Structure 1
Amino acid sequence: MPVTRIHWDDLPPDARQAVEQQTGPILRADTASAGANSGIAATLHTAAATLFVKGIPSDHPQARTQQREATIAPYVPAASPHLLWRVQAAGWDLIGYERIIGRHADYAPGSPDLPLVAQALVELQNTPCPNIELKAAEQRWKTYAGPAGVEQLIGDTLLHTDLAPHNMLITDRAHLIDWAWPTRGAAWIDPAVLILRLMEAGHTAPAADAWTRSHIPSWAAAPHDAVDAFSEANARTWDDIARNDPQEWKKTMGRLAHDWLTYWRTLTLSVTDS
């Protein structure tokens, strides 16, 4: 369900006051234009600091994603923005982050951002998965799994699972943001997720596969059958997403997921026949 974006001054006074108890008086607030899952997303300026706040009505169905963000925040890689505080007041759940001044990543072929994206993903894959309650990959994709099942998705790697370019901020490095879907699973799942975003940016399936294989070790070691099982489940997931909310970009992701699955199965057959 989409969330209506409002401005800082539209928040209930008690909610703004609760934030200012953490920050001091807000001198200026600039609403973010990107993103669609927060009821408020703004850069806040105080006399002492600049920070980023995002929030959602506490009774909104997507409030659980913000709860997940707050829960995983202490365990994410050091390059991700640090959670500063969380307040719940006047029907709103609001969280404040350190502000990273950067731009969204460019995933296009040949982009100088791509090595930074790979480094960020490798850093994540080297980050210990915390011993907290997290959705397991085999549970998350179980509904969409084919006959091969999802037991091959089991693993103990901390996954981001939403590696769209607007979730990578670029400075002199790449910073992973928006941890709404943290998951525990096989390490190669995040590279598989990234590949679809590379295809969305103009890479062919073979080129995206080759680039990821050369930059992310877990992808180079991924078992063919396991990737096939995930790719089928992921294609069905995107089909469902686009069916329930037929925005053009979601339909594009569904098509790309099926294009990838076709490529992977053709590749698997060629390996089997060789």
Structure 2
Amino acid sequence: MPYEKLPAAVRAWVERVLGSTVISATTQQGGFSPGVAARLVTATGRRAFVKAVGTSLNPKTPELFRREITAMQSMGPLPVVPVLYDVYDDNDWVGMLYEDIDGQLPVHPWVQPEADRVLEAVAELTDALDPSPWPDAPVVAVRSREFLSRWENVLADQLDVPDWMAGRVEELAALARTGLRAQAEGKALAHYDLRADNIILTDDRVVFIDWAHPGLAARWTDTVILHADMRESVRLPALPDDKAITGFIAAIAGGQWWGSAQPAPPGLPTIRAWQRQSALTHLDWVRERLS
């Protein structure tokens, strides 16, 4: 949706905060959320990035934006997150006005220098967010319990599994429960959706964006999620030999494996193939850690 289609009240808020008339708005394509995502330039040369959505576009997305707003306000200024200038919420439209970051997404599949930079930045982010500056954040183990417990469904539905797992599904289900318990005990604030398209690289910064799914989790959660995205393309440092980490990886594998066996939802014909590949990536990782 182009910036010019925003309600007049939202555009007036943008110009009031920036202190000048917007003369250029470049829409940023991609992502999953409807609404406006645009890089702005004002008559005085000031730059900013705006994202905004209304309930008429999607009734659920405004709540995700509100969750991001709370997370950003709780974190305060950190070099690895964008600066939030101001927020807008009229109970219909929700908007965020951020600094404009002149950078690019990491190359995907990952390349080694960028993976090394990002993993170093994730370690910095984790140190800053453990313990969580938002103690009342959603708990990952509660919000994702159903997804992270899918090996039970695989057993109930008698789904086929890779040959090496024959007779071991209950073992992975038990491992997944271990990972879920560790998540329930975690006190760190996790981004919980880290992948290449939620990261911006500049000459001197790594910036983690789109905080729509933050939650209280184990401090290693974001590192594990990123390793899964990176592991088939670059060399990675070994993670601790921790049963809870292996269990979390197994839990994600179960969620994706069961999901890949379901009918495709309307309008998303490729998601099941993607889920199957993700499950196989995580299962290969579990097998490696168990050997």
TM-score category (smaller protein): 0.7 to 0.9
Length-normalised TM-score, structure 1: 0.81
- CA change 1:256–1:78 in 2 (3 A) is same
Instruction: Give 5+ residue unaligned stretches, structure 1.
Output: 1-5, 214-219
Tell me which residue corresponds to 1:157: 188
Rounded to whole Å, the distance in 1 between the matches of 2:124 and 2:273 is: 29
Q: For each residue in 1:54-87, what CA deviation from the matched residue of structure 2 results, as whole angstroms up to 9, or x when unmatched? A: 0111462121110111001130632211111111
Tell me which residue corresponds to 1:217: none
Q: Which moved more, 1:58-67 or 1:175-184?
A: 58-67
Rounded to whole Å, the distance in 1 between the matches of 2:278 and 2:38 is: 33
What are the equivalent positions in structure 2 for 1:174-253 lying under 5 Å apart? 174-199=206-231, 202-203=232-233, 211-213=236-238, 220-221=239-240, 223-224=242-243, 226-238=244-256, 240=259, 243-244=264-265, 247=268, 250-253=271-274
Tell me which residue corresponds to 2:164: none
- For the pair 1:57 / 2:51, whether they are aligned, the reply is no
- Report if the CA contact (8 A) 1:135-1:184 is conserved: yes
1:46 to 39, 42, 48: 42
Rounded to whole Å, the distance in 2 between the matches of 1:198 and 1:268 is: 16
Tell me which residue corresponds to 2:165: none
- Report if the CA contact (8 A) 2:193-2:225 is conserved: yes
Q: Which has the higher contact order (CA 8 A, sep 6+)?
A: 2
Q: For each residue in 1:116-153, what CA deviation from the matched residue of structure 2 results, as whole angstroms up to 9, or x when unmatched? A: 11121111111131143212122132113244321122
Q: Which moved more, 1:129-138 or 1:117-126?
A: 129-138
What are the equivalent positions in structure 2 for 1:1-274 lying under 5 Å apart? 6-23=1-18, 24-48=20-44, 49-58=46-55, 60-74=59-73, 75=75, 77-89=78-90, 91-128=92-129, 129-144=132-147, 145=149, 146=151, 147-148=173-174, 149=177, 150-153=180-183, 154-172=185-203, 173-199=205-231, 202-203=232-233, 211-213=236-238, 220-221=239-240, 223-224=242-243, 226-238=244-256, 240=259, 243-244=264-265, 247=268, 250-270=271-291
What code does the residue aligned with 1:151 have? R
- Report if the CA contact (8 A) 2:62-2:93 is conserved: no
Rounded to whole Å, the distance in 2 between the matches of 1:38 and 1:91 is: 14
- Report if the CA contact (8 A) 1:102-1:170 is conserved: yes
- CA change 1:249–1:165 in 2 (3 A) is farther
Question: What is the total number of aligned residue pairs between the two structures?
Answer: 251
What code does the residue aligned with 1:170 have? L
